[in-house]
A = this chain, B = another copy of it.
Amino acid sequence: VKNLRDGTITSPRGFLAGAAAAGIKTKGGPDLGILYSEKPCVAAGRFTKNRIKAAPVQWCQDRVSSGKAQAVIINAGCANACTGEQGLKDAKAMAQAAAKKLGISVNSVLVASTGVIGKKLPVDRIASGVKKIKLSANGGHELARAIMTTDTHPKEIAVACEEYGFTVAGIAKGAGMIHPDMATMLSFLTTDARIDARLLDRLLGEAVGASLNMITVDGDTSTNDTVLILANGAGGVVKAGTKAADAFAKALFKVCTYLARSIAADGEGATRLIEVTVDGAKSLADARMAARTIVGSPLVKSAVHGRDPNWGRIIAALGRSGAEFNPKKVDLYLDKIQLMSAGEPVLFDKKTASAAMGKDEVKVRVALNGGKHSATAWGCDLSAEYVAINSEYTT
């Protein structure tokens, strides 16, 4: 599988997209978009495990269970969460507006929203906005922009597998309230692979577990976390147990990991990406728990921000993660620099360590030396800008 230059969610055959400024965001700009497949698709999704689920999440869960869909309508500026019965009606109205425009059944339209919680969806503006949207085969870029909130740039990617004749692509939005639990706040994937719903669902779950579910910006799991994949079958056949399925899994993982890393690196107020790998764990769950706890620690995040090799915070976060390990076996590395060996501090050059913490990608590796499992998690540094962004969001 290889990256497509300028790839986006409409790179796989048969997908169109477009966006418009519907006046949902108070600041203006594109805030409404549609993703549409010319053919009906096999679909799979993963949604927030937050007990409070936004109306569009509830709408999608009901639809995706059928394994079929043909379009997704997405808005930024209003999350349509904690909006009660009216919220569910509004999510349906939003689907209906798209269904009417596209001439398809309302049940083929998935819905996603992001923005302020507790505000009612402006359905009239959405209905007018839908009319303004022009769909095109290159419209993925527009759509990726329209779903942004505090993101500083769109996140999009497409990878092609020539051998088995398919492309997998995706877009995502992140920035804040990012601690995905089963999915991340708005990630959309497309593929032209011909794949059945069951296999698609399994492979999506595997890819998301090791990518989008391994990032954190602020530890706050959103009410709207949604990842959706539509497969329209316009390309090569992918069957369970074949090499094509392996290639597809690899492509999907590549797309999901790219989006996950992009979301982490573009976290609210972030100036750099932090990548934490934990290996030698007794179980995959332990490795994942440890990696994500370390990368999410406000003290580790602040230390990275200040290029301060205060590695004790990494070890303290590891210790509280809940992962099982023997403290006397732990090795710790920052980039190539060893900071701890078998649980004891190692003398290191502070200037070199500080420089490693100033890189665009700060890499931490913790070797637990107690098993065979490993996991990588991604996050970002904590800056004063994060506080500024989140002190003045709704007002």
Contacts and interface: CB of A to CB of B under 8 A. Distances in A.
A343 B86 CA distance: 12
B299 A177 contact: yes
Interface stretch (A124-132, A136-144, A235-243, A301-309): A301-309
Contacts of A302: 386-387, 389-391
A388 interface: yes
Given A116-B312, A299-B176, A320 B390 contact: no
Interface stretch (A15-23, A99-107, A217-225, A276-284): A217-225
A88 to B, nearest CB: 12
A369 interface: no
Contacts of A384: 384, 387-388
Given A116-B310, A218-B298, A345-B118, A319 B51 contact: yes
Given A118-B312, A220-B299, A221-B320, A83 B345 contact: yes
Interface in A321-375: 321, 323-325, 327, 340, 343-345, 350, 354
Given A306-B391, A310-B116, A52 B327 contact: yes
Chain A at the B interface: mostly helix, strand, loop or mixed?
Answer: loop
B395 A82 contact: no
A392 interface: yes
A308 B395 contact: yes
A260 interface: no
A383 interface: yes
A221 B219 CA distance: 15
Contact of A395 (B84, B354, B383, B390): B354
Given A387-B383, A390-B306, A395-B350, A343 B84 contact: yes
A264 interface: no
B390 A318 contact: no
Interface in A187-237: 218-223
A392 to B, nearest CB: 5
Q: Can you tell how many copies of this chain the complex includes?
A: 2
A117 interface: yes
Interface in A42-90: 49-53, 79, 81-85
Contacts of A4: none
Contact of A219 (B85, B298, B394): B298
Given A84-B345, A345-B83, A316 B177 contact: yes
B390 A387 contact: no
Contacts of A219: 219, 296-298
Nearest to A317: B220
A32 interface: no
A394 B303 CA distance: 9
Of the listed residues A325, A382, A391, the one surrounded by the most CB atoms of chain B closer than 10 A to its CB is A391
A84 B50 CA distance: 40
Nearest to A390: B302
Given A220-B317, A316-B223, A118 B311 contact: yes
Given A117-B310, A306-B395, A308-B393, 11 more contacts: A118-B311, A177-B316, A218-B299, A220-B299, A221-B316, A221-B319, A223-B312, A307-B395, A308-B394, A350-B395, A382-B390
